[in-house]
Structure 1
Amino acid sequence: MGSQNRRRRVASLLGAAALAVTAGGALACPAGAATNVDFPTHCIPPAVAGIPPIDGTTTASISVDNTAPKVGDTVTVTYTVVKPAASNPTAIALPADIMTPTGKVTLTGAQTGDVTVAGPKKNDPVPGNGAFPSFSMTGTFKVTAPGAIKLSPGDYNIHTSYILELDTPCTVTNPPAPVSETVTATDSTPVNSRAITLDKATGNPGDSVGVTGSGFTAGATVTLAGRSGSTQTADKATVTADASGKISGSLVVNDKTTTGIVAYEGSAYSDALGAGPATYTVVDNTPIPAGSQKLTTTVKAGTLSMSQAGDSVVLSAVDFGTGGASTGKLQTVTVKDFRGGPAGWSLTGKVTDFTGPGAKIDAGKLSWTPACATEAGSPSTCQAGSAGTVGGSGATLASTPNGTLTGGEFTADAQLSLDVPAFTPPGSYAGVLTLTLS
């Protein structure tokens, strides 16, 4: 598992020489590393193994794609079991790519509940009675309350498909397990508090999955539907929300390409009236015909990142007694969104006061005119922020909206203008413009 996709902050120095802006260094805040935690675990080997339950220690970590979401945002969670408590319960060596892990991440603090996570059917070979390898599982949850939300590893299950279909469920002995990650959510309006939970994260074609939810409009007809990536499948069912906005029902999932399940009010899914997708995987148990070979591949989710063409900008000089606009161009910022989920992103900037020889130029004197371009083939379309003051409170440089499938590569620029007062003392003035991607 890679490091957490925390918000990147890149600072570019803006300054002036004879009221022209001087060069300076850059400040950066890199993504933090995921925190491993240990917790006692009770694992039950398959009955066919003929061995008693295993009480051991699991080492795991939780990471998220956004540690500072807004209420209503969807956060992608990755649960990595670094060292499972269980091992191969048989003396039979297991080949590669026969393990399908599923599990739950426990939320406490400002928001409570469980996040269902699932991993791909992929693993290195496991020797007889050998330790299970590390594996990762992903899922999403919608933020419904502001404040600190703590994430802890929860129960997990290792399903193996080799000769027999076998499960090794492992439960946290003294829940909840230690906190591995914390996200701090801020309030935003309007809030879509609709959320759903599945009773399982995987099943065979034709299996029924239980869906419960909350936050829906009282008495509304709610559609439960399967999703294959960003496309809705033919698997659908309807339920009615009770007086408190809660739903409970089931959906029969036949489509083998299903990657998630959604619930929504209205004729079609929307971010404003929908919940999910909650991760769900269909185990393809179709027998392979004689003389045939089944080929599989995995598309791995990436990260949200940014880079800039340089770390300093020299603005044009102005004259003492005249002052006026000291202008320049922001170093081009490249944003790469390779997460593959439904969340968009926002790139904002704020600037400090410009300090110089015994005087300063107020941060509110800096304004910009943003521009943004989208690389061909990107699922999302970049939107430039509004022209105006940057200041110490900040402004948006560029963004992309939430959608059923987002991502791509983008470049953001801006024309800069610092309004220098007429009789500002001569000298070099410098300020720090901090760009934040979230």
Structure 2
Amino acid sequence: MGLRRLIPQRATAVVVTGILGAVGAAVLAPSAHASPIEYTSQCTNQTLPEMPIDPSQTKVDISVQPVKPTYRVGETITVEWKWLSYGIVPPNTPIVTKVEKDSTLPKGKIGLSGAQTREMDVEGERKNPETPLGEELIVTDMKGTVTLTEAGTVNLTPLQHSTWTLAFGYDSETRCLPTTPVPVGASITVEPGEVQLPVLQAPDGDVYSGSTIPLTGSRFTPSATPQVALCNADGSGCDASRFAMNTLAIDTRGNLSGTAMLYPFGIEDGPYVVRVSDGSKEATDTLSIKAFVPGERALTADRASGPVGTVVTLAGHDWTPNYELQISGVDADGNISDVPISVMTSPDGKFSVEYVVGAAEDVAIRAVAGFEDEGMTVPFRVTSGGALGQTLTGTITPGGLTMAQTGAGIDFGTTTLNGRTQTANAALNRVTVVDARGSDLGWQLTGTVSDLTSETGTIPAANVAWTPSCAAAEGSPSTVTSGSTGPIGSGATLCSVAPGTAGPTGGRFTAAAELALTVPAFAKPGSYTATLTLTLS
């Protein structure tokens, strides 16, 4: 159970973002052979772009290894971005008091112009000293490799740089772009030579966001580790995070094979370029991405009747793509009769899943996409399989008293402090209690909650209250009583069943509750967590 973050109204500037925005720059002396360049950068935090960050001076030295008078087409060079100035952690940064040690990773892009035109990536290490507010944040220099493909003069010019900082479990990017002309950082002379560039093949035709696409290629560096990125149609803006995962590999002969899964969200329709690099050489191919537009959705089942335990294959098409559906049996009143199962739709809105009928009261099987969706159902009739004239014998042994819940996380959302006591609401994950003991015993389901704590403060457990709501499923021998509304604290009853006096007890019961967290007017901002423990006895 957690409250994501308490954010003061005048402190929305950082939390886990923007703590690397420079308010000034500490300039370092260049090395004896350096030819430093200097320009003005404007940094913007990508999570909170409205947060103000003052422009700052960027001073760097771009160098090429190995050092030699001329190079040849086909050579692979290492380009180094050496910092000659460092940003200052803004002294008025709220929430945090320092940048943690080894929390910041620098990344950059360098443009090649002249005889050879392209962008290349450079990257450093996530290594930095612990840095208080107002002090220099010293990050590592950055390096990258590129294969020379054209003869003539090749110029190397910084295009942008970013810092990725881990704070509160979140990796936040602050991206810095030049606002003044950037001088060429280094120029090299490339003589003619022979080069065999890698070749990449991506799918032809349109593919959907979230699709897993095959990629093949040849002439890569044997046994190298491939890195894949999706670029804009003109080759700019290459971003590895546009792929959610990949299985790409390069064999001992330099052949590339495997698949890459496009990120399901945030990629607009249009033409793109897929880029695969082996650390020294790269290849590209075009890719057209198009979002799937669902038509009239459908739900089908491979059978319409059977006894409890029947396995039904459900299939659907034209549902929301890349979305989690909940599948469950429902009774004649439309109530869920068993714990739902989940299935993800494909990038083209299809799904297929096996569902095991779990309750005799089922009259239909329902698929639901989200809380506001009424879903679709297919009818299903639970049968006994027919009647035979046989004498039945058997032994019934007692079952147990068990419970299950539909989830383990409760989120009170984000509350913005305003100087007054506020209430944050959430819902308890539904709990199903099954009493199959075949006795006259009762039971009680109780809850306790710990204090909500964060790195900055504590909210007492007494501030968490609930309004229980419990019900017995149709056919249950016992009735269930909901607990009282009030604080949970060190012990409160969610629901209970009294011992039987005129017959056996037992049945299937659902327990739910509306939760309310009283947020103090002047709570310490932070991400709060607590543990709600349910005990069945």
Q: TM-score, normalised by structure 2?
A: 0.33
Q: Which has the higher contact order (CA 8 A, sep 6+)?
A: 1
Q: TM-score, normalised by structure 1?
A: 0.40
Q: Give 1 or 2 for the bigger CA radius of gyration.
A: 2
